[in-house]
Amino acid sequence: MTPILVRRVPASTPRALRTDEVGRVASDFAAAAANADQAGFHGVELHAATQYLFEQFLNSQLNDRTDQYGGRTVADRIRFTLEVTDAVVEQIGASRVGIRFSPFSTVGNMPADDRTEETYQALADELADRELAYVHVHDTSGSADDDGSLWQRLHRLLRDMRARMAGTPFVLAGGMTLESANELVGSDVIDLAAFGQLYISNPDLVERLRTGTPLTPPDRTTYFGGDATGYTDYPAATASGA
- Residues serving a catalytic function are 52
How far is residue 172's CA from residue 103's CA, in Å, rounded to a whole number? 12
Element (H, E) at 57: helix 53-58
SS3 label, residue 190: coil
Strands (E), the chain: 44-48, 97-101, 134-138, 170-173, 192-194
> How is residue 195 annotated by DSSP?
-
| Single-letter amino acid, residue 122 | A
Q: Is residue 138 a contact partner of residue 161, using CB atoms and an 8 Å limit?
A: no
